[in-house]
Amino acid sequence: VLASYEFELPWPRPPLNLNDRRHWRANAAKVRQVRDASHILAKQCGIGPWPRVRVTLHYIPRDRRVRDAENPTPTLKAVCDGIVDAGIVRDDSPKFMVKDMPVIHPAASVSGLRPRLWVVIAALTWESA
């Protein structure tokens, strides 16, 4: 890893979820919100452009309910598109971007931390994965 940056998303929980049952137009609007916010927040970090990155979405939930790690992946996808829009990396294909499974941390009610959602972007060399 050459460098690592993080930014916090403005939602306390993932705004897009695999279990969402929204109308396609409402879903597209939410995807656009997440993508645009990620674009702006990534730009504000003053990072890139890099040839290859690793992106990880982190989430501290409010309570101890059981959550599936793959459920926030639509949020991760929109975030990654925003990172590309920001010019940090050329494309979100595996050649240029490694997308980790979202990390769900212990609940805020247990950890004493506040619920939050954030992204870590790590610059990679071509050889690292």
For residue 28, the model assigns a pLDDT of 94
Q: What pLDDT digit, counting tens, does each position of 8-22 carry?
A: 999 999 999 999 888
Helix (H) or strand (E) holding 81: helix 73-85
DSSP 67: -
Q: What pLDDT digit, counting tens, does each position of 26-81 carry?
A: 999 999 999 999 999 999 999 889 999 999 999 999 999 999 999 999 999 999 99
- Pairing state of beta strands 97-99 and 103-104? unpaired
Q: What pLDDT digit, counting tens, does each position of 83-101 carry?
A: 999 999 999 999 999 999 9
Question: How much is the pTM?
Answer: 0.92
Q: Which amino acid is at 4?
A: S
